[in-house]
Amino acid sequence: MTSSVTDAGNPQDRKKKKDKNKDKNKDLAVLVDERLAEITSSMVTLTGRADDMEKHLEELESTGGFEELRREVQAAINSVVPNVNQEVQALRAFEAT
């Protein structure tokens, strides 16, 4: 009489599967750590840029340049608005046809 032994019942096969799962978990952990390092680096860079912008705004405020900057930005926006309005009107006319 022959007894049937399955691979799942073999302790060596179970150990191999367990080892593979451990390797996959280690690989995943390494990938997560690498991604976290990238995100941390990006956050440091962005924080530095935000700090620089804040410093520049403070300098503009202290020298009175902030109001001049506001006027320049407003003038730039005002010069673009008519063009945008023309484009919107042209698109509406095109859609109506």
Instruction: Judge whether residue 93 has pLDDT over 50.
Output: yes
What was the pLDDT predicted at 1?
46
CA 20 – CA 70 distance, rounded (Å) = 62
Question: What pLDDT score does 26 carry?
Answer: 81
pTM: predicted TM-score of the whole model, two decimal places: 0.41
Q: Where are the domains of the chain?
A: 10-63, 64-97
pLDDT single digits (tens) 12-50: 777 677 777 777 778 888 999 999 999 999 999 989 889
Residue 25: alpha-carbon gap to chain centroid: 25
* Residue-wise pLDDT tens digits, 76-92: 999 988 888 888 898 88
Distance CA 13, CA 11 (A): 5
Q: What is the per-residue pLDDT for 60?
A: 78
| Cα(45)–Cα(15) distance, integer angstroms | 45
DSSP string, 2-36: PPP--GGG-HHHHHHHHHHHHHHHHHHHHHHHHHH
